[in-house]
Structure 1
Amino acid sequence: MTGGPIQSIVVALMPHLMIAPILLPLVTACVLLFLRDRQHRTKAAISLFAAVLNLAVALALLWWSKQGDGPSAFGVYLPGNWDVPFGIVLVLDRLSGLMLLLAAMVALMALFFALARWHKAGAHFHPLIQIQIMGLNGAFLTGDLFNLFVFFEVMLAASYGLLLHGSGPSRVKSGLHYISINLVASSLFLIGASMIYGVTGTLNMADIAARIPQVAAADRALLHAACAVLAVAFLAKAAMWPLNFWLVPAYSSASAPSAAVFALLTKVGVYVLLRLSTLFFSPEAGASAGFGSQWLAWGGMATLAFGALGMLASQRPARLAGYAVIVSSGTLMAVIGFARPELTASALYYLPSSTMAVAAFFLLAELMDRQRTDPARQRAPEDEEDHLPFALADLEIARTANLDEDEEVLIGRAIPASTALLGLAFICCTVLVAGLPPLSGFIGKFAMLSALLPLQNEAPAVSSASWALVVLIIVSGLFAMVALSRTGIRFFWAPMERGAHLLRVAEFVPIAVLIALCVLFTVRGEAVMRYTSATASSLYHPAGYIDAVFSARPLPTATNAERLGVPAPETRP
């Protein structure tokens, strides 16, 4: 059989595959709930298989979103078979395809890391991780604000359980703060969405974008207020300063696999801000064009500065990783605020690379903390008078160490060359987070700097905001390098009586895979940049998105054939 018929069959089935990223983790979570608590191996096998299948689906959808230009680059699926804009609509484009793949890869690696021990440290870990995947996938695919709220809540509900997974007072304390902040954000989401519905009469994103230019002048201030209220909910999730005070305590207290998945949650806020800003406030939005861009740009730069200073002031690896999340999110929000396609393309290259690097760093942070909190290797403070800062840091780590269900510090089995492996992984994470050559972190930052400071003779003068972002990107990289180098010296080079690091192969493999993917981004940088450039171009020309959504038609059935103006399908007697 030739490839033509097979390809046509695949293309025909592909639209129905859009529902799989939502149904697959949902069904898997339901199945896992029927298993007994002690069936750890069965749960792990089912959950891991579902995560691998979710990755395969994400790859297929990414391949589909790349095919062609214009409307052909969009996939629209109507789960309820209702006309747009009245029913639920799922929309796939290059941006959502990229985010689906990123979420699938990070979630799979976090789950694989948890199989070493963390999945046994509490109840319902595997159903929670599957529900988390479902919420993430739904948020990236949905095409209306109501279902965005639904998936937002699903994602947050799962994150509450994952944050409290395990034991320890610091996790419970930070978890209560995390829940409180996100409940407030959810309330603001509802208020903003209801106000937008009151002004535009719809919650479908494409329909809102089409109606915004037609909003009456008397109602435009109310529309902007509604969008501002809605934006606050996502700015809190995207960790914009000063709404990000909850993030570092929560993420650094969570278990390592949960924290790695949480690195994706801030990107949901960034994704929604990028999606809605380019869709609602494009140059075609009339008097609303560019609304909020300057606030987003300067707020992102303030967030970037706060995260850089936080990294410089931190010593624990987990807290360093938490501030690295803020640095990444602040950089992306500042770039979105500039609303320039070439700059956004560079940021979209930086987004997956920085997310995978931070996720790997969260996993690595636990392995590093474990070495310092092993009771057999702890030394009394009075014996370390020559290394008092190191001793105080060790005691601080010991008080906040992650514990399992037996209230014991997690200890793995020593393997040969474990110290060298961890040291090499730490160097790679340092290079990626700080944006040093030759890895993808440097390429992403260099691309953003090149877009901010064009070298062409006919290029316009560089604005003060562009210069401020250039300085912050460079200084934040310097601060990250100083902070991470200091931590690396303390953990790997400081003269302490210790043996080999305690490490399991299953714990190191996810870190190695995430770093290898960043290396692949470096090697295939040109191809990835072409993809992100096409993605940014489609984002800033939302007519293709709007046309693709409104061109979707429900399938004719016996109940809707007359409304659609088509013959009713024949039914068997």
Structure 2
Amino acid sequence: MTQFTAALMPHLMLAPILLPLLTAALMLLLREERQRVKLALNIGATLLGLVISIALLLWASVPSGPSTMGVYLAGNWPAPYGIVLALDRLSAMMLVLTSTVALASVLFAAARWHRAGVHFHPLFQLQLMGLCGAFLTADLFNLFVFFEIMLAASYGMLLHGSGRPRVQAGLHFIAINLAASSLFLIGVSMLYGITGTLNMADLAQSIPHIADADRGLLHAAAGILATAFLIKAAMWPLNFWLVPAYSAATAPVGALFAIMTKVGIYAILRLWTLLFSVEAGASAHFGSLWLVGGGMVTMAFGAIGMLGSQRLGHLAGFSAILSSGTLLAAAGFGQNPLTAGLLYYLPSSTLAVSALFLLTDLIERWRNDGASLAPYEQGDDAPFLNAQLVPTEGLNLDDDEEVLIGQVIPAAAAFLGLAFMACTLLITGLPPLSGFVGKFAMLTALLNPQGLGASQGYQPGAAGWMLLGLLIASGLMALIALTRAGIRHFWAAHGRATPALRVLEGLPIAGLLLACVALTVQAGPAMHYAQATADALHTPGRYIEAVMSAAPVPPPAAVPSGNTSTREAP
């Protein structure tokens, strides 16, 4: 890495936050009639954000060790007194995932949905700002700030397109998230009262030295804070709001919301491994059993919900819940190989759920607009299964004028069918796509325990066997539900007109699925990245050292030659 690049990259950490903020401010200065200009700005800023995120990912994954980090002191005050941004492998991965889903969503919205309401584009960029800020911040107060920016934008995004179902679901969504925000503030206030700091690294240093008399209060504060995160992560029974809200949203908004549940997962994974690691003394692994148990119940709830769903939007919503439950349960075990497996599974499942939300809009539109009334055109007395009622125009017939091999599948219908099949394979964890690789990695880790179950003398542990069974059973239940939906919408779809599919609608779906294919083809490097990320998460001392030792930049006259980087390396 050149000296110029080393000096530039830390400042580039600000770009995922400042770029959407400035873009949203610029679009608010434009009149609402300038939709094309706003759309171009939105797509351009999102694409540039993806390029920047990839550059940060490459920077965070240089082969100098799993703890490679970038630390940026935004106010040039040392931690824990000033605002600190921290970039490691986990936050870089989440930035790339967010930008990928966002680009697919805005391209899909460009076909029609961005015109369904006002201020779609600035709200979209403000939500990206909140998401990226939550992944980069290194203190709890600014995490709350970015959470609120993200949620405030999501309220408007959910109501985009109006209609009674969206308004009703939006009111429930707002109410539950306001309650979560209140819990967030209460938990943060209690932690500050006990430790005197909100910097994550400083908190991790303080927790092992908390007096025994205050440790119960510390655990209560952590539990309240975790409840706020678990609401966002859709853990049962706190996830009753998700399916009605996500299924009522417009397709591009639902696809973008798929990443919002992962913000709760990220916060839990970041804070739990940092504050309650093996180095936390008497508080080590606090809440692990709750994560494992709650995650497994959430998995069962999501799988049963998929079996009971008749609407594709509900199927996609319960798929997001199933994904969140899987990640939470796996995270609670606290073992490196299992964490690596879930980190590989996380982007794969998120991309698949986002693609399913986009597909839902196209399939439902095709179903509602292309329904055939052919069986009723010859009168109500005609038998429903009369062969004469089956339209024969355009079909291949034999010598007896009977249908021989059926009608040629239109290209648009074939694309929808293949995309739906790919989503099914990814969500259920069937080979050969990345969903199978992620689940197989987690199953392998469960059968070779190195964490909680092994330390308690289980092989691999009662909880491990339960999670192993649920991974297989939930995948089977999801397969039944999605296969049934596929049969109803594709196999038994007779007499429909050819689906109207625009390039801007098919391209983002294909892009999301191709990203999953790329994860499959590059499974080796991706798993190495996930394992290095898991190793860094489970050795929080290096994160703490990088943040706490970051020095402010001295005045220009005092800067030694060639020492302008805030880069922290082991």
Aligned-pair distance for 1:11?
1.7
Matches for 1:184-263 after TM superposition, within 5 Å: 184-263=179-258
Q: Deviations over 1:43-66 (max 9, x none)?
A: 111111100110011001101111
Matched residue type, 2:19: L
Kept after mapping to 2: 8 A contact 1:252/1:319: yes
Q: Secondary structure at the match of 2:138?
A: coil
> Does residue 73 of structure 2 align to residue 88 of structure 1?
no
- Please name the residue that 1:417 is paired with: 411
Aligned match of 2:170 in 172, 175, 198?
175
> Does residue 434 of structure 2 align to residue 440 of structure 1?
yes
Aligned match of 1:510 in 486, 508, 511?
508
Matches for 1:242-391 after TM superposition, within 5 Å: 242-374=237-369, 377=372
Distance 1:380 1:171 in 2: 35
Task: Flag the 1:68–1:550 CA change in 2: closer, same or farther, 3 A.
Answer: farther
Matched residue type, 2:432: P
Q: 374-383 vs 187-196, which deviates more?
A: 374-383
Task: Flag the 1:386–1:332 CA change in 2: closer, same or farther, 3 A.
Answer: farther
Task: Flag the 1:222–1:119 CA change in 2: closer, same or farther, 3 A.
Answer: same
Matched residue type, 2:445: A
Q: Secondary structure at the match of 1:284?
A: coil
Task: Flag the 1:447–1:72 CA change in 2: closer, same or farther, 3 A.
Answer: closer
Q: Secondary structure at the match of 2:74?
A: coil
Aligned-pair distance for 1:70?
4.9
Distance 2:383 2:443 in 1: 45
Matched residue type, 2:168: K
Distance 2:449 2:548 in 1: 41
Aligned-pair distance for 1:377?
4.9
- Please name the residue that 2:159 is paired with: 164
Distance 2:384 2:553 in 1: 76
TM-score by length of 1: 0.89
Aligned-pair distance for 1:455?
9.5
Q: 70-79 vs 303-312, which deviates more?
A: 70-79
- Please name the residue that 1:404 is paired with: none
Q: Deviations over 1:217-244 (max 9, x none)?
A: 1000000000000000000000000000
Aligned-pair distance for 1:36?
1.1
- Please name the residue that 2:49 is paired with: 54
> Does residue 101 of structure 2 align to residue 106 of structure 1?
yes
- Please name the residue that 1:399 is paired with: none
Matched residue type, 2:133: G
Moved over 3 A (4+): 68-72, 375-387
> Does residue 470 of structure 2 align to residue 472 of structure 1?
yes
Aligned match of 1:428 in 410, 416, 422?
422
Q: Secondary structure at the match of 1:26?
A: helix
Aligned residues: 529
Aligned-pair distance for 1:417?
1.1
Q: Which has the higher helix share?
A: 1
Aligned-pair distance for 1:8?
2.4
Kept after mapping to 2: 8 A contact 1:372/1:378: no
Aligned match of 1:97 in 74, 92, 97?
92
Aligned-pair distance for 1:69?
3.9
Distance 2:349 2:494 in 1: 32
Kept after mapping to 2: 8 A contact 1:71/1:547: no
Kept after mapping to 1: 8 A contact 2:372/2:494: no
Distance 1:132 1:523 in 2: 31
- Please name the residue that 1:487 is paired with: 485
Distance 2:552 2:383 in 1: 74
Aligned-pair distance for 1:556?
2.1
> Does residue 24 of structure 2 align to residue 29 of structure 1?
yes
Matched residue type, 1:453: L
Q: Note the residue ranges of structure 1 that are not aligned, 5 or more in a row.
A: 388-414, 565-573
- Please name the residue that 1:548 is paired with: 546
Q: Deviations over 1:276-319 (max 9, x none)?
A: 00000001000000100001100000000000000011121111
Q: Deviations over 1:407-444 (max 9, x none)?
A: xxxxxxxx961111111111111111111100000110
- Please name the residue that 1:392 is paired with: none
Aligned-pair distance for 1:72?
6.1
Distance 1:347 1:322 in 2: 20
Percent identity for Structure 1 against Structure 2: 60
Q: Which structure ranks higher in relative contact order (CA pairs < 8 Å, sequence separation ≥ 6)?
A: 2
Distance 1:217 1:385 in 2: 79
- Please name the residue that 2:60 is paired with: 65
- Please name the residue that 2:400 is paired with: none
Distance 1:377 1:366 in 2: 19
Task: Flag the 1:256–1:495 CA change in 2: closer, same or farther, 3 A.
Answer: closer
Kept after mapping to 2: 8 A contact 1:256/1:366: yes
Aligned-pair distance for 1:553?
1.0
Q: Secondary structure at the match of 1:29?
A: helix
Distance 2:110 2:344 in 1: 30
Matched residue type, 1:280: L
Kept after mapping to 2: 8 A contact 1:102/1:352: yes
Kept after mapping to 2: 8 A contact 1:70/1:544: no
Task: Flag the 1:216–1:369 CA change in 2: closer, same or farther, 3 A.
Answer: same
Task: Flag the 1:375–1:520 CA change in 2: closer, same or farther, 3 A.
Answer: closer
Q: Deviations over 1:510-546 (max 9, x none)?
A: 0000000000000000100000000000100000000
- Please name the residue that 1:397 is paired with: none
Distance 2:355 2:362 in 1: 11
Distance 1:17 1:182 in 2: 31
Aligned-pair distance for 1:447?
0.7
- Please name the residue that 1:496 is paired with: 494
Kept after mapping to 1: 8 A contact 2:197/2:203: yes
Distance 1:54 1:379 in 2: 50
Kept after mapping to 1: 8 A contact 2:370/2:497: no
Aligned match of 1:132 in 109, 121, 127?
127
